[in-house]
Amino acid sequence: MNTDHLFQFLHRRNRRAFRSIPAISLFSGAGLSDLGYELAGFEFIVQCELDQRLAEIGKRNFSSSQWIVGDIKEKHTQIVKTFRTHSHNKQLELLSLTPPCQGMSSSNPGRGKISAPEQSDQRNTLILEAVPIIKALKPRIVIAENVAPLLNRVVKWQGQIQTVVHAFADSLASYHIFAGVVEMADYGIPQKRKRSILVAIREDESVLTRLKNKTLLPWPRPTHSEYPTREKKQWINVREWFEKMKYPSLDARTNPRDPNLPLHFVPNYPEGDRRYSLLSNIPPDSGRNAYANDTCPTCKKNSIPFHISYCPHCGEVLFNRPITLKRNREWRLIKGFSSSYRRMASDQPASTVTTNSSHLGSDNKIHPWEHRVLSALECADLQTIPRFYDWTWALETRHFYIIRKATGEALPPFFTFLHGQILAKILEGVLPQNKLSRIDIDRQERSFYTRKVLA
């Protein structure tokens, strides 16, 4: 089946690979993105995370790593010293950067504009805070990941207005930087999740010339596509994936938790909570949103026109639509995107799993046919987090939101596993060209930055 590869990855039992390639992770979250690289043979000597709660979860899962809690700008000297001490002065092979994406997310109205870089969210420059660590330890490969807008984001850095990628490349003169955008659904992951990716390889690496000459990119070649071809399979859709996983049914009112699966729970909307009316009135498998609920909950008349909050037949409030009470005590529709309060389309990959996956009003977060949002377990599986991952700390301390936060911030471990296998080969001087993305063929590259980028 199309889903077997992923099912096996989620249920794998072996945690560590046979190799131990020294690595550092910055902005580590709970280590979820790191997990795939570890499974591919990388050993994280140091991981740094600002959020103490995420670090507590990560420590349970990377017990041999040295976790540093704090801002990397303030901790960079400690990070360097800790790596040198605990690696016994080995060469750092890989440095991974996965800074928070909220500063650049399209859902963040304060993210700043290209025309006004001085107003840019300060989180947009977090990737640049790693430069002193890179210069001190000279890793052979640096990888950075963020939302797709990273590649266009303009910031003011060290007195100059330029893109983040320009600033990063200019700060690392001894590296060649490859930049692109990858779609997770293109790798057999049943989720639409576009991410920018930067891979910086030291100029003295022997494989670099071959990469450039063969016009290859140092990340995996897509295996799936929205429109299948001879060499690419069809994207995996939500229905195909959920039927493979056989999740027990849940309901936000009557059955919000499965006692046998600790992560399979959803927010409870008890009797009288009108949020349940919103989602239960959206027809299953319709892909519609609650703004289109066209039956009055009071008089049961249907075909109610859109864009109104009162029934034209009985005059009662349409509580099965997303509404809010104004200061004049009148109800109006909540302003939002057309993807708000919407069921996922069952014939497509899931929408992007985000940190606020428990909120009805978030982007396409309602289950395709059941009356609820996706459970924490379903989100974790869509993010391809292996089932052996230990969430005990968050469950015992009742930090349920932090589970969704950690899950929504991560790059899917299945992708980082595939990527890690390729990077391990490159570090050996081997070029697995049949597994690498191709410039001008796979359409992932972004070649408009500096001479260092796809020069």
Give the whole-angstrom CA distance, residue 172 versus residue 445.
Answer: 20
44: nearest Cα among 56, 54, 35, 52: 35
Please, are residues 24 and 83 in contact by the beta-carbon 8 Å criterion? yes
Could you count the other beta carbons within 10 Å of the beta carbon of residue 149? 19
- The superfamily CATH assigns to domain 4-234+411-438 is Vaccinia Virus protein VP39 (3.40.50.150)
Give the whole-angstrom CA distance, residue 442 versus residue 150.
Answer: 20
pLDDT at 372: 97
Give how far Cα 345 sits from Cα of 132, 167, 260, 348, 367, Å: 45, 39, 28, 6, 9
pLDDT at 443: 86
pLDDT at 149: 78
Q: Please give the average pLDDT of every successive group of 10 residues along the chain, which has 455 residues.
A: 89 78 97 96 97 97 96 96 97 94 48 47 74 97 88 73 84 93 97 95 95 95 95 96 97 97 97 93 96 96 94 97 94 88 96 94 93 98 97 96 96 97 96 94 69 41
pLDDT at 452: 44
Q: Within a 13 Å sphere around the CA of 227, how many CA atoms are in the beta-carbon half?
A: 0
Please, are residues 364 and 344 in contact by the beta-carbon 8 Å criterion? yes
The alpha-helical segments, DSSP class H, found in 96-149 are 131-137
pLDDT at 403: 98
Residue 18's region, left for phi above 0, alpha for psi from -120 to 50, else beta, is: alpha
pLDDT at 421: 96
Pairing of strands 42-49, 21-26: parallel
pLDDT at 115: 45
The alpha-helical segments, DSSP class H, found in 364-399 are 376-382, 392-396
Give the whole-angstrom CA distance, residue 398 versus residue 53.
Answer: 11
pLDDT at 17: 66
Listed by start position, the domains of the chain span 4-234+411-438, 249-374
Please, are residues 316 and 299 in contact by the beta-carbon 8 Å criterion? yes
> Which amino acid is located at 101 in the chain?
C
Give the whole-angstrom CA distance, residue 358 versus residue 371.
Answer: 13
The pTM (predicted TM-score) of the whole model is 0.92
163: nearest Cα among 447, 449, 446: 449
Please, are residues 20 and 43 in contact by the beta-carbon 8 Å criterion? yes
Find all residues with CB under 8 Å of 144, minimum gap 6, and list them: 96, 97, 98, 99, 127, 168, 197, 198, 200
> Which amino acid is located at 106 in the chain?
S
Give the whole-angstrom CA distance, residue 28 versus residue 210.
Answer: 31
First to last CA, the chain: 40
